A and B are shown apart, each in its own frame.
With several copies, the nearest count.
Chain A
Amino acid sequence: MSSDPRQRIAARAAQELRPGEIVNLGIGIPNLIPGLLAPAAGVFIHTENGLLGVGPRPRDEELDPDLIDAAKRPVTALLGASYFDSADSFAMIRGGHIDVAVLGALQVSALGDIANWAVPGKDVLGVGGAMDLVVGARRVIVTMTATASNGEPKVVPECTYPLTARAAVDVIVTELSVFRLRGGALCLTELLDGVTLDQVRQATSAPFRVELEA
C-alpha cells in the first residue's frame, strides 16, 4: 500500500465501487481513483459539466479544448459516452440517478452532516455542484485525511464549518480507517493496514461505535 496518504485513501475508496455503478468524482483525492481502477471495474464516471463515460487523461495528440471534466481538466470520453446540458446533468444528480458521489470534506459530523465548501470567516463565493451531489447521490463517500494540517480532527461531533448538507454521508475513508453511517450512527468498520484503534481515537473527535468487520 502506498505511503502517500492520499493514494491510500483513493485506493481504499475505489474498493467501495461496484461494477456498473455510475460514479461522480470530486476534485482532489477522488480524482486519483480512475488511475487506480482496473479497466474491468466496469464503473461509469459522470462529470457534472455534462458527460457520462469519462475516460483517462488524454495523450497530447488527443487533447480537445471542448472536452473537460468538472475540475476543468482535459479528459477523454469512452465508447458509449454521452453528453448533456447542465440542467440535464443536475437532473441526474438531484433525481437520484448517480449511484455514488466520492468527494472531499473539511468536516463530517457524527450524524453524517458534511461541510466541504466554505471556511468560516472567509467569503462563500464558490459552491459549484457540491450541495447538489451530496443531496442527490444515492451513496456519498467522503475521502479525506483524518486530520487537518493543523492536527484538528475532521470527523467531529458537530460541524463548525458552514454545512453543505445534513445527514448526507454514508462512508468516510481516511488514511487510517473506514467509517460508515448506520441508522444515523457513526461506526468504525475498518482499520487500514497497520493502523490501531488508538490512532483512530486520537484523530477523531466524534463519538463512534466500533463495528470492525473481518
Chain B
Amino acid sequence: MTAGGAVSAAEAVALIRTGDTVMVGGFGLVGAPLTLIDALVEESDATDLTIVSNNIGEPGKGLGKLLRQGRIRCGIASFFTSNPEAVAAVNAGQLEAKLLPQGTFAEAIRAGGAGIGGFYVPVGAGTLLAEGKETRLIDDVPHVLEWPLRADVALVYAARADELGNLWYRRTARNFNPLMATAAAITIAEAGEILPVGGLEAESVMTPHLYVDRLVARREQ
C-alpha cells in the first residue's frame, strides 16, 4: 500500500480491533511511536490485545499506560523486566508472556514480513527458551526451529517520512521499526517530519512506501 498524506492519530488507531495482535516499535521508549500509543490509550476501546514489542514500556510510560488499563492480554517480547509492572501482571496471571531471545524476536518479525515459513537458529538450544520447540542438528550444532511473527497492525516511528509513506529512521531510533513495518496487515507510521514526495533521497529510504498504510504526524512529546 501507500499512505498518500497524513491522517489523525485517532483515525489511524481506530483500525485496531479488540483481540488484535499489534506490533509496536522502539527499544524501550527510544524509537517508540509515542503519539500512536497515546492515541491507542486515550481514543480506542480495543482490548484483549497481544502486543509484540521488545519491552512492554516502562511504568506509566509508552505501552506501560496500556498495561495499566488492563488491555494487554499477551506480550511477546525479549525483555519484560524493564517494566516491573509487566512482571507483576505476569505474576498475577493478568498478562500472558512469551519470551524470545532478542535476535530471534527480531528475526521472527523479519521472517513474518518476508514470507519465510520458519527458520533454524542455534540460539537458545538446550535452554528453557527452547522447551517444547522442535530442534535439529545442523552441521552437528543443535538448532531451534522458530516461527515467523505477524500482526494485524504495526505501529512504528520514523524521524522522517514523505507523503507516499517512505520512511527514514534516525540513529538508534531505528531498531525494530523497519522490521515491524513489513510484518503487519496494516502498518501505521508516526513521523517526526513529513516531507513532500522526493524529499527523501531514493537510496536513503529505509522503509519503502509499499509497507506503509497510514501516516500520522508525531505530536511534540
Task: Give the B-binding residues of A (Cβ under 8 A).
Answer: 20, 22, 44, 46-53, 64-70, 72, 77, 79-87, 89-98, 118, 123-132, 135-136, 162-166
**Cα–Cα, bound, A85→B169 (Å):** 9
**Which residues of the other chain, B, contact A67 by a CB distance below 8 angstroms?**
171-172
Count of A-B contacts judged by CB separation below 8 Å = 200
Given A52-B210, A85-B177, A95-B113, A80-B166 contact (CB < 8 Å): yes
Provide the B170-213 mask, 1 if CB < 8 A to any CB of A, else 0.
11111111110010000000000000011010110110111100
B179 contacts A165, CB within 8 Å?
A: no
**Which residues of the other chain, B, contact A66 by a CB distance below 8 angstroms?**
30-31, 159, 170-173
**Which residues of the other chain, B, contact A125 by a CB distance below 8 angstroms?**
79-81, 86-87, 90, 97, 99
**Which residues of the other chain, B, contact A85 by a CB distance below 8 angstroms?**
106, 169, 174-179, 206
Q: Find the A residue at minimum CB distance from B91.
A: A123
Q: Main SS of the interface on chain B?
A: mixed
Number of interface residues of B (CB under 8 A): 69
Task: Give the A-binding residues of B (Cβ under 8 A).
Answer: 1-2, 4, 27-28, 30-31, 54, 78-82, 86-87, 90-91, 97, 99-104, 106-107, 109-110, 112-116, 121-129, 159, 162, 164, 166, 169-179, 182, 197-198, 200, 202-203, 205-206, 208-211
A129 contacts B101, CB within 8 Å?
A: yes
**Cα–Cα, bound, A165→B103 (Å):** 14
Partner of B106, one of A47, A77, A90: A90
B26 to chain A, nearest CB (A): 10
**Which residues of the other chain, A, contact B99 by a CB distance below 8 angstroms?**
124-127
Partner of A82, one of B112, B175, B202: B202
17 A/B residue pairs, CB under 8 Å, sorted by A: A20-B2, A44-B209, A47-B172, A68-B27, A68-B28, A82-B166, A82-B209, A83-B171, A84-B174, A85-B175, A91-B115, A94-B115, A95-B112, A95-B115, A125-B90, A128-B102, A129-B101
B210 contacts A86, CB within 8 Å?
A: no
